[in-house]
Amino acid sequence: MPQSRKKRHKRLRVLAKGYYGRASNVHSPIKQALIKRHVYNTFSRKLRKRESRALWNRTVSENVNTYSLNYSTLIHLLNSQHISLNRKILSELFVYEPKSAFSLITWAGRRLLQLPQ
């Protein structure tokens, strides 16, 4: 085996360290395992983002329900008042600063909650 090919194979073998069976020391299964690894990594990155977004929405929804509102109404109120906070910031606001979140809701929805100005 020429030196350059050996170097390429070794580079792939280093990437496949810890794999089980032939996928750790035979070139063609190593290549297939590494390709599959990249496919799984891509899927997992997208899944992580999706699950995080769902968690933020769930957190906001649960906290808004304590103020007798629902999630879609809150988002509508914030959009109608031109308050641009994304779901991540809203969920962190409800978790770490509940008083600030309440004041934000009351400020945005005075008409809906029928609070005096």
> For the chain, what is the domain count?
1
Residue range 23-34: mean pLDDT, rounded: 91
Tell me, what amino acid is at 18?
A: G
Please give the average per-residue pLDDT across 2-31, as a whole number: 90
pLDDT at 116: 53
- Tokens 């020429």 correspond to 2
Both tokens of 62, joined, read 């649960």
**19 vs 108: CA distance, rounded Å:** 55
pTM of the model: 0.70
Structural domain of residue 61, as residue ranges? 3-113
Residue 94 and residue 55: Cα distance in Å, rounded?
13
Q: Give per-residue pLDDT as tens, 42-100.
A: 999 999 999 999 999 999 999 999 888 889 988 888 888 788 889 999 999 999 999 99
> Is residue 76 helix, strand or coil?
helix
Of the spans 22-26, 66-70, 86-90, 104-108, which averages the highest pLDDT? 86-90
The CATH number for 54's domain is 1.10.1900.20
Is 27:58 a contact under the CB 8 Å cutoff? no
Q: How far apart are CA 117 and CA 109, in angstroms?
A: 11
Buried b (16+ CB within 10 A) or exposed e, 75-93: bebbeeeeeeeebeebbeb
